[in-house]
Amino acid sequence: EFYSSVDSMQDLGQLELELLNATRSYLKAQQQQINLYRKFVEQLKREHVMAMDLIDLDEYLGHPLHAFRLIKRLVYDWDALHAPVVENKPREDYRQVVDSLSKEVGFPDLSELQGAVKGLARLQRVYNFTAPDLADGIINGFFYDSEMDWRDCYEIGVQLFDLGEHHRSLEWLQEAFRLLRANPEMKEAEKPQFIADIREYAALANFELGKPTRAGTLLEKVLQTEPTHPARHIQKYVDYRDLAGSNKHEKEPSWFGNYSRLCQGRRLPEKGSGTSLRCFLDGKRHAYFTLAPLQVEQVHLDPDIDVYHGILTLDQIDSIFEAADKQEMTRSGVAGDGGTRTVVDLRVSQQTWLDYESPIMKSIARLVVFISGFDIAGAEAMQVANYGVGGQYEPHPDYFEVNLPSDFKGDRISTSMFYLSDVEQGGYTVFTKLNVFLPPIKGALVMWHNLHRSLDVDPRTHHAGCPVIVGSKRIGNIWIHSGHQEFRRPCNLTSDSFKSVAYRE
């Protein structure tokens, strides 16, 4: 699976480059062969013409040298020509390159395309991007030199229709229509057939959206210009499909409003703003920070969420990637019912796990210990994740609460999330119940507690990774468990979990 991570998309980029090179050599080799054939044919033709024109054929063939040459040509020369034509070595070579690329890298299939389209649709939904803007290469107000043509828009419209996103499908089909009509490169006479294809899908989408009249008009237009268009069978589809009740509006979940707003970097309209939040240098937390104090940015109090800037050096980050690259990245799952892992759209990223054996990982674990004050014993390995096109992680808590994994003691008491990359646009971490959004900053660490002192879970910590708009987002998570912290963070005598009761769903 490629679309769920930008790193694996690079494999596809490489794949296309190799295809391009192979095609170029194929064309060159074929051209050389053809030139050779042409020369040969020209030569023969000259001989033939001479024979016909100058003397009659009998006389020509009566000449022993001519007879010899005719026979020789048929025995050797034509054969030498036939063999490569039939064999076509350049084509064989080309086929081999394609075969081996397909074995080594693998070509993406339709489900990959749908994944990428879903990612685009997700961006539109969360950030309110319009199809015309995206098609013009305008993303979030920034112009990227990457306009789409009508075919791209049509393909997105078709895929969205198949995914059941009829509103958005229509939006892209309209864009395809607009671009096709304005396309100066295509002959006017060629346009109607494609316009009919667009209208066919637009009719289907309108049917699904409960607008049969509009759909009917579109169909009529299709059949006026293209009477034999397959769209004439649509009525059957419509009759077959019971459309009563299919016009349900895809309703967004309750958290969506906050999520979308925070992802866009807009605060929720709430009275209490974080005026008492501070940024400060902390050289006292541990002797380790005496000479290079921690650069702390408070982003929330109670529950405390702090960003520690400049924690990892570029070298450290590079070696994390090096170690992660050696392992196979897999599509991220989330803990599902019964502790099994499922791959779902709520989390679109790839991940791998790194233990704390290497010197670099040891030093990173030590940093987490010094900053958090926790014992790293019983912590999970660092989870390194990479988000792809529209990659995201919908609101969730990091604690398990139920179905605790048996290989760890206690629940995830704290999260230490390292940002391993900057993200050009999007990809914020947001706390949907706390009015907090954090743009990723390479080398920074975000830390918070998922459990109250009483070790009850703290639902206020629900958070999410927003869809990546442009760029590649990489993070590293270290989850420390409550099992080994008796001396580090003893429970209070009175429970403090009442604070978060109101935040339970």
User: Is the CB of 150 or the CB of 408 nearer to Fe ion?
Assistant: 408
User: Is the CB of 175 or the CB of 394 nearer to ligand AKG?
Assistant: 394
Q: Counting contacts by CB under 6 A, is residue 414 touching ligand AKG?
A: no
Residues 6+ apart with CB under 8 A from 353: 327, 380, 381, 382, 383, 384
User: Is the CB of 108 or the CB of 391 nearer to ligand AKG?
Assistant: 391
Q: Counting contacts by CB under 6 A, is residue 463 touching ligand AKG?
A: yes
Interface map 420-459 toward ligand AKG (x if CB under 6 A): ---------x------------------------------
Task: Return the one option of ligand AKG, Fe ion, none that residue 475 interacts with (CB less than 5 to 8 A, by type).
Answer: ligand AKG
Give residue 162's identity as a one-letter amino acid code.
Answer: D
- CA dist 403 and 264 (Å) reads 34
Residues 6+ apart with CB under 8 A from 308: 294, 295, 296, 297, 371, 444, 445, 446, 447
Residues 6+ apart with CB under 8 A from 89: 29
- CA dist 218 and 201 (Å) reads 9
Task: Return the one option of Fe ion, ligand AKG, none that residue 429 interacts with (CB less than 5 to 8 A, by type).
Answer: ligand AKG
Select the residue interacting with ligand AKG from 443, 465, 467, 476 (CB under 6 A). 465
User: Is the CB of 206 or the CB of 482 nearer to Fe ion?
Assistant: 482
Select the residue interacting with ligand AKG from 350, 421, 472, 477 (CB under 6 A). 477
Q: 342 near 399, Cβ under 8 Å?
A: no
Q: 463 near 429, Cβ under 8 Å?
A: yes
User: Vertex 104, ends 349 and 18: CA angle to 5°?
Assistant: 95
Buried b (16+ CB within 10 A) or exposed e, 195-216: bbbbbbbbbbbbbbbebeebbb
Task: Return the one option of Fe ion, ligand AKG, none that residue 465 interacts with (CB less than 5 to 8 A, by type).
Answer: ligand AKG
Collapsed DSSP state (helix, strand, coil) of residue 351: strand
Q: What is the nearest approach in angstroms of ligand AKG to the Cβ of residue 452?
A: 19
HEC per residue, 66-107: HHHHHHHHHHHHHHHHHHHHHHCHHHHHHHHHHHHHHHHCCC
Q: What is the nearest approach in angstroms of ligand AKG to the Cβ of residue 434?
A: 14
Q: What is the nearest approach in angstroms of ligand AKG to the Cβ of residue 429?
A: 3
Collapsed DSSP state (helix, strand, coil) of residue 50: helix
User: Is the CB of 175 or the CB of 398 nearer to Fe ion?
Assistant: 398
Question: Hey, which residues between 378 and 407 contact ligand AKG (CB under 6 A)?
Answer: 385, 393, 398
User: Is the CB of 196 or the CB of 385 nearer to Fe ion?
Assistant: 385
Q: What is the nearest approach in angstroms of ligand AKG to the Cβ of residue 345?
A: 15
By beta carbon distance, the residue nearest Fe ion is 398
Q: 342 near 333, Cβ under 8 Å?
A: yes
Q: 492 near 454, Cβ under 8 Å?
A: yes
Give residue 444's identity as a one-letter amino acid code.
Answer: A
- CA dist 23 and 15 (Å) reads 12
Q: What is the nearest approach in angstroms of ligand AKG to the Cβ of residue 440?
A: 7
Q: 156 near 117, Cβ under 8 Å?
A: yes
User: Is the CB of 320 or the CB of 478 nearer to Fe ion?
Assistant: 478
Question: 10 Å Cβ neighbour count for 105?
Answer: 15
User: Is the CB of 274 or the CB of 439 nearer to ligand AKG?
Assistant: 439
Query: Which token pair is 364?
Result: 């990173």
Question: Hey, which residues between 390 and 449 contact Fe ion (CB under 5 A)?
Answer: 398
Task: Return the one option of Fe ion, ligand AKG, none that residue 477 interacts with (CB less than 5 to 8 A, by type).
Answer: ligand AKG
- CA dist 18 and 101 (Å) reads 8
Determine if the peptide bond prior to 269 is cis (ω within 30°): no
Categorise residue 244: left if φ over 0, alpha if ψ from -120 to 50, beta otherwise: beta
Q: Counting contacts by CB under 6 A, is residue 350 touching ligand AKG?
A: no
Q: What is the nearest approach in angstroms of ligand AKG to the Cβ of residue 356?
A: 18
Q: What is the nearest approach in angstroms of ligand AKG to the Cβ of residue 323?
A: 18
- CA dist 168 and 199 (Å) reads 15
Task: Return the one option of ligand AKG, Fe ion, none that residue 435 interacts with (CB less than 5 to 8 A, by type).
Answer: none
Task: Return the one option of ligand AKG, Fe ion, none that residue 90 interacts with (CB less than 5 to 8 A, by type).
Answer: none
Q: What is the nearest approach in angstroms of ligand AKG to the Cβ of residue 347?
A: 8
Q: What is the nearest approach in angstroms of ligand AKG to the Cβ of residue 332?
A: 8
Q: What is the nearest approach in angstroms of ligand AKG to the Cβ of residue 383?
A: 7
User: Is the CB of 219 or the CB of 475 nearer to ligand AKG?
Assistant: 475
Select the residue interacting with ligand AKG from 120, 153, 329, 475 (CB under 6 A). 475
> Residue numbers of the site for ligand AKG (CB under 6 A)?
385, 393, 398, 429, 463, 465, 475, 477
> Residue numbers of the site for Fe ion (CB under 5 A)?
398
